[in-house]
Amino acid sequence: MTKTVSNKPCKDLGLSVYYCFMNDIKCPYCGKTIHIDELVRHDLEKTILKEASEKQKLELEKAKIEAQKLAEKKFEEEKAKEQEKADKEKRLLEERFIKEQKELKLSVEKAKLEGLKEASEKSRLEKLEYEKKLSDMQKALDDAQRKAKQGSQQLQGEVLELDLEEKLKEAFTKFGDEFVPIPKGVEGADIWHKIRLHGKEIGSIVYEIKRTKAWSPSWLSKLKDDAAKVSASEAIIVSQALPDDIQNFDRRENVWVTNYDNAVNIARYVRFLIISVTKIKSSANQTDEEWTKIRDYMLSDSFKHRMHAHFDAVNNLKDMLETEKRTSTLRWTRQQKQIEKLDSNLVNFYAELKEIAPNLPELEEIEIPLLVSENDEQESLI
């Protein structure tokens, strides 16, 4: 049988039979004859497509980083503008208040000097007007101070939110977890944490950060509603103020409540709970009753007490370390003062000996100016 190249016999193309057999190979599995040029072209296409895919991925990642930087810059600029505007309004009101106060006081004093009844009546009316204006200005000033304080508290809350998000990213992104923006319509939640296991999303946690002086039970139902909107597995409130009966953390109305110091540790615990339940559900050896018992135990008071004991032990170790650090600092300070005192006594002792015996050898360890004798002093003057 005659070999063919480009669907034509080799002899018709002027090619030797040796050339045809050298450029064709036979598949050992299916027996189909494959031209070597097609294999090279196929491998080249795969290489080009792979390089193009990697380049596109790098460009997309770079574009995401640039977009995030621009968004953060715009956010900081807007906050700065709002703060500057509030400060400017407050400053203008204060200046206007001081000016009005001075003018009204001068007007009242001028009216008091007039002894006539008409002037006295006018003075009374001006005084009432002054008091009214003073009251209005004081009210406006209080409003401006309140707005400035609210803006400052809001800014502090945003800084606390960004700091916690960075700590969470540092703790969990290495496991493949994601932190995505909160969708529109979910106003209470601040951070959305998607948990991944072997590259697959298995659940999520929503966080709400509160920086207030008092606790409000209404936060629980509000965050539960927000968690339901994004189908989150768990919800965590990180608050500066906790209920009176909560020391480190607790679970209230299916919402975890903790302070800022323990937020990352609670996130680790809740993440572990979600992963454990997912593994148990996917295991053929575990029944629904068994994994329900395990989950109930991990949400029970017994397990909560164990976690409290863990946090108390960690806090005690921190306190002991701080106490030891302060004690060591005080001990080092006392020892340093004693060494300086010994050095000072030695220098004084050597100086007294030098005064008695000027020919004593010089000591490099004691750097003091040598005492000159009267003859040396006279020679130096000459």
Read off the amino acid at residue 179. Answer: F
Model pLDDT, residue 150: 55
Measured from the Cβ of residue 98, the count of other Cβ atoms closer than 10 Å reads 11
* Cβ atoms of 267 and 193 closer than 8 Å: yes
Measured from the Cβ of residue 66, the count of other Cβ atoms closer than 10 Å reads 10
Read off the amino acid at residue 299. Answer: L
Rounded CA gap, 324 and 160, in Å?
30
Boundaries of every domain in the chain: 78-159, 176-299
pLDDT in tens, the chain (382 residues): 444 444 445 445 454 444 444 556 666 667 776 665 666 667 767 887 888 888 888 888 888 888 888 888 888 888 888 888 888 888 888 888 888 888 888 877 776 666 556 666 777 777 788 788 878 777 877 776 666 555 555 556 678 888 889 999 999 999 999 999 887 767 778 899 999 998 899 999 999 998 888 899 999 989 988 888 888 989 999 998 899 888 888 888 889 999 988 899 889 989 988 888 888 777 655 566 666 776 676 666 666 666 666 666 777 777 788 888 888 888 888 888 888 877 777 777 777 777 777 776 666 655 544 444 444 444 443 3
Element (H, E) at 9: strand 8-9
Which pTM does this prediction carry? Answer: 0.42
Read off the amino acid at residue 123. Answer: S
Rounded CA gap, 124 and 119, in Å?
8
SS (H, E, C) 199-220: CEEEEEEEEEEECCCCCCCHHH
The token pair at 207 is: 């966080």
DSSP string, 105-161: HHHHHHHHH--SHHHHHHHHHHHHHHHHHHHHHHHHHHHHHHHHHHHHHHHHHHHHH
The answer for residues whose C-beta is within 8 angstroms of residue 257's C-beta and 6 or more apart is 220, 236, 237, 239, 242, 243, 246, 249, 250, 251
Phi and psi at 239, nearest 5°, equal: -125, 145
DSSP string, 308-342: HHHHHHHHHHHHHHHHHHHHHHHHHHHHHHHHHHH
Element (H, E) at 71: helix 36-113
* Cβ atoms of 39 and 27 closer than 8 Å: no
Rounded CA gap, 233 and 192, in Å?
11
Rounded CA gap, 243 and 240, in Å?
10
